[in-house]
Amino acid sequence: MAELIRPSTVLPGKRTEFEVRTSDGVTLVGEVAEPLHPSRGAILCLHPLPTAGGMMDSHIFKKAAYRLPALADITVVRFNTRGTTSERGTSSGEFDNGDAEGLDVEAMINYCFDVLNIKKLWVVGWSFGTDVALRHARDPRVQALILLSPPLRTSKESDLVFWAHDGRPVIALVPELDDYLRPDEAKTRFSKLSQLKLIAVEGAKHLWVGEPSLHRVLSEITEVIAPEKLPLPLEY
């Protein structure tokens, strides 16, 4: 008999902890959650600001790892950027406001392709993680960027110009009630990206608190990677 999926529900999947070494000697800790069936694609999660409590267990990414492998056959790769702590552990190094974190992204993308043998990878950034994605997730093997609550705080004009010329898809979920960048301003700030798909989410806030907001985010990620698995069920 099917049961309602609750905030604490952990659905079936293969979950494996890992450590990855960056080119400057930092050790990153993380976890990969894989479906029990063949994967339709993978997301690499870049978490919110560590100095404000962001980490690989920030609720959207933790719930994505709990649900998407079973509901959508999507592999979820989470890790703590340098100097960040979660229940999984602490990555060595020090927070660098998105600069040296570029080496973390480089190491993790290589790990996804070279060790995990992922065939199709999307980078999903949330808040601080969106700036890290725009600045550093330029590896040509990446399919696209999915940006949740992008504040455009440390991204430079040159970063947006890169993506405009690159042409790969950029999907931005912008909450109507965001604390930093709301849909109308986002349209202006991202105007160089003709390929941008901007999704204004009515009633949502920067942190996407609550099951309806969470379900919307996970559904939009699934729409990009495995649309045939929609709608995501509320029971399992």
Q: By C-alpha distance, which of 158, 151, 153, 154 is closest to 172?
A: 151
pLDDT band with cut points at 50, 70 and 90 for residue 174 = very high
State the virtual CA torsion across 208, 211, 215, 217 in degrees, nearest 10: 10
Phi, psi of 26 (to 5 degrees): -85, 140
Confidence (pLDDT) at 79 = 99
pLDDT above 90: residue 83: yes
Phi, psi of 9 (to 5 degrees): -70, 130
Mean pLDDT of 70-79: 98
pLDDT tens by residue, 118-171: 999 999 999 999 999 999 999 999 999 999 999 999 999 999 999 999 999 999
Kindly list the structural domains of the chain, giving each domain's residue range(s) and its CATH number in brackets, ordered by start.
Answer: 14-227 (3.40.50.1820)
Distance CA 183, CA 210 (A): 20
pLDDT tens by residue, 93-117: 999 999 999 999 999 999 999 999 9
Distance CA 67, CA 205 (A): 22
Is residue 205 classed as helix, strand or coil in its secondary structure?
Answer: coil
Phi, psi of 111 (to 5 degrees): -65, -45
Tokens of 52: 């404000």
Confidence (pLDDT) at 25 = 98
Confidence (pLDDT) at 221 = 98
Distance CA 203, CA 175 (A): 7
Mean pLDDT of 62-71: 98
Q: Are 170 and 194 in contact (CB under 8 A)?
A: no
Mean pLDDT of 193-222: 97
pLDDT band with cut points at 50, 70 and 90 for residue 182 = very high
Strand partners, 164: none
- Secondary structure element (H or E) that encloses residue 103, with its range: helix 101-114
Q: By C-alpha distance, which of 149, 144, 159 is closest to 182?
A: 149
Residue 4 is given by DSSP the state B
Confidence (pLDDT) at 1 = 79
Average pLDDT, the chain: 98
